């Protein structure tokens, strides 16, 4: 009788999960020294001539360094006009920089695209309560999910420190996507459905201040496949004879590639431009630049 020895081998598999970090949106410029003009700040009331709405800038210093409403104001508010409809991701608040410990402990937020009709941020069937500051100088950030699409943003203090309400603030986000562009993270995209060759479509994109789309992540590639409805479309990849490789026309590195099997092949040495949705959703192919196709424009914000 033969004897067999069974050996068990244990395989340890370690899975690392990497979560992509979305960069914090930039300031619209409501902070001290920012681009939002003083006239863009308005309020229900003010405590005195030195504490008007234009004093409501984050990081402002000096005497009466904050917007301070009248103590008799039953429904105080401060509003910022961003000048155009924008995607507002978050608000940062502080209290009064000088003097007493005046700060806003809780507040509500409303927004408007036209300055006439305002909608409050909602939660559980009512106006959402945002937790504010616990002292006068430490900044506190609250985010909006989803972001507000608004030109005007107003903050309504509902609970204040013993010495009263005071607000310094800034708003973070991006200018709104225009001309039927759609936002994905920090950028705006447009699917141009009227066919054109690669150069013609790049000119169309540049007419919007954009360029043919570069694709940097799997998520961005999926988004573009969605907005193109799987239609074969030019994206911003082009063969560069100086490097003997495909590059993005906007100058960014082609760190991600989604070539279909056996592509690129530069058939006849003339397939120099890149299309997406070749045969299958989201897969790329090099093709003749003179061919007529739809295209994807991408407007990148700093």
Query: CB-hemisphere CA count at 13 Å for 17?
Result: 1
Looking at the predicted structure, is the pLDDT value of residue 16 above 80? Answer: no
Query: pLDDT tens, 232-242?
Result: 999 999 999 99
Same fold, 38-175 and 182-299: no
**Coil, strand or helix: which one is 223?**
helix
Is residue 77 very low, low, confident or very high in pLDDT (cuts 50, 70, 90)? very high
CA distances 207 to 71, 182, 297, Å, are 52, 17, 10
Looking at CATH, the fold of the domain delimited by 182-299 is given as Mannose-Binding Protein A; Chain A (3.10.100)
By CB neighbour count within 10 A (0-12 exposed, 13-18 middle, 19+ buried), where does 102 fall? Answer: buried
Q: What number does CATH give the domain 38-175? A: 2.60.120.260
The secondary structure of 69-99 as a DSSP string is --TT-SS--EEEEEEEEEEEEEEEEE--SSS
Residue closest to 148 by CA, chosen among 193, 200, 208, 88: 88
* Domain residue limits, the chain: 38-175, 182-299
Straight-line distance from the first to the last Cα atom of the chain, in angstroms, rounded to the nearest whole number: 77
Extract the tokens encoding 110. 């409303």
Looking at the predicted structure, is the pLDDT value of residue 7 above 50? Answer: no
Q: Report, as an integer, the average pLDDT of 117-122.
A: 98
The per-residue pLDDT of the chain, averaged, comes to 91
Reported pTM: 0.72
């Amino acid at each position: 009788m033969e004897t067999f020895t069974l050996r068990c081998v244990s395989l340890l598999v370690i899975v690392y999960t990497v979560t992509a970090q979305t960069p914090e949106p930039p300031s619209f410029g409501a902070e001290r020294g920012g681009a939002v003009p003083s006239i863009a700040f308005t309020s229900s009331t003010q405590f005195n001539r030195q504490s008007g709405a234009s004093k409501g800038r984050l990081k402002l210093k000096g005497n009466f360094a904050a917007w301070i409403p009248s103590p008799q104001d039953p429904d105080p508010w401060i509003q910022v006009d961003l000048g155009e409809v924008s995607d507002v991701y978050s608000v940062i608040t502080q209290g009064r920089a000088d003097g007493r410990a005046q700060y806003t402990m809780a507040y509500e937020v409303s927004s408007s695209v036209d300055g006439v009709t305002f909608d409050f941020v909602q939660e559980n069937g009512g106006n959402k309560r945002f937790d504010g500051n616990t002292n006068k100088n430490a900044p506190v950030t609250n985010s909006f999910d989803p972001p507000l699409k608004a030109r005007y943003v107003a903050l309504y203090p509902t609970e204040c420190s013993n010495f009263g309400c005071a607000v310094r603030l800034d708003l973070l986000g991006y200018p709104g996507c225009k001309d039927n562009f759609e936002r994905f993270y920090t950028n705006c995209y447009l699917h141009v459905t009227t066919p054109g060759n690669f150069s013609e479509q790049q000119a169309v994109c540049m007419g919007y201040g954009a360029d043919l789309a570069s694709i940097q992540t799997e998520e961005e590639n999926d988004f573009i496949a969605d907005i193109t409805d799987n239609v074969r479309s030019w994206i911003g990849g082009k063969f560069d004879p100086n490097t003997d490789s495909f590059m993005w026309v906007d100058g960014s590195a082609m760190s991600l590639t989604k070539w279909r099997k056996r592509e690129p092949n530069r058939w006849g040495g003339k397939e120099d431009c890149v299309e997406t949705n070749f045969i299958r959703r989201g897969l790329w192919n090099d093709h003749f630049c003179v061919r007529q196709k739809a295209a994807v424009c991408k407007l990148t914000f700093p």
